[in-house]
Chains A and B, each alone.
Chain A
Amino acid sequence: GENVEQHPSTLSVQEGDSAVIKCTYSDSASNYFPWYKQELGKGPQLIIDIRSNVGEKKDQRIAVTLNKTAKHFSLHITETQPEDSAVYFCAAAFTGGGNKLTFGTGTQLKVEL
């Protein structure tokens, strides 16, 4: 089955700096890569996703890049703000497998003032 590795497990940045979280996947059939943000005591919420026919996608301060050859994808957050502090999860799925997501182990992002 699919295996998703995520690094780092914790990340601390100063407000205004950029943050990068990286994930690798094992199954070349995976073609959908969402990123979820989980605030304390809440369920995960989708912040951005990318499909295998696209190399990069941006939404305001958030961007995701995908390298299919290397089987890795990354989340980039620019101009970080205190409200960006949360746990971020990457995930992978493929269209032939229903909507079953395989998650990474999560990154605790702390944005310090």
Chain B
Amino acid sequence: NAGVTQTPKFQVLKTGQSMTLQCAQDMNHEYMSWYRQDPGMGLRLIHYSVGAGITDQGEVPNGYNVSRSTTEDFPLRLLSAAPSQTSVYFCASSYSGGSTLYEQYFGPGTRLTVT
């Protein structure tokens, strides 16, 4: 299994540009999520999905869109990049078991710089 994969590893954008960060997992996990990591602030949840066709907002959703058309993929879209979105982005996945919380597996991250 490849686990959780993310592309690209690095990206530089100009203010106002759009892009999509890709995330895929091959573990048949129902739950997928996106976090951003900023110095001194830990990881903060952007959006998450409990299954194909179902998404919801996390702690810091503004400026980001997501969709989940398949179990495997969960792309994150930046519609109009801003310098405040400079960060390292991590995708994670896990089983979703109702009253049981399962280990989340993280991808290697995408380092995004917006100038």
Mark A residues whose CB is within 8 Å of B. Answer: 1, 4, 6, 9, 32, 34, 36, 41-46, 49, 51, 89, 93, 95, 98-106
Contact = CB atoms under 8 A, between A and B. Distances in A.
B68 interface: no
Contacts of A101: 43, 45, 104
Contacts of A51: 101
Contacts of A104: 42
A99 B31 contact: yes
Nearest to A42: B108
A42 B106 CA distance: 9
A98 B41 contact: no
16 contacts: A4-B42, A46-B103, A46-B105, A93-B101, A95-B99, A98-B56, A98-B96, A99-B94, A100-B48, A101-B43, A101-B45, A103-B35, A103-B42, A104-B42, A105-B40, A106-B42
Which 9 pairs, one residue from A and one from B, show the smallest C-beta to C-beta distance?
Answer: A43-B106, A103-B42, A32-B101, A103-B43, A105-B42, A46-B103, A95-B99, A44-B106, A99-B31
Interface residues of B, number: 31
Interface of B: 4, 31, 33, 35, 40-45, 48, 50, 56, 58-59, 90, 92, 94, 96, 98-109
A89 B105 CA distance: 14
B90 A34 contact: no
Looking at chain B's contact residues, is the secondary structure mostly helix, strand, loop, or mixed?
Answer: strand
A108 to B, nearest CB: 11
Contacts of B109: 41-43
A99 B43 contact: no
Contacts of B41: 105
A92 B35 CA distance: 15
A43 B108 contact: yes
Nearest to A34: B103
Nearest to A2: B59
Contacts of B92: 43
Contacts of A4: 42
B46 to A, nearest CB: 11
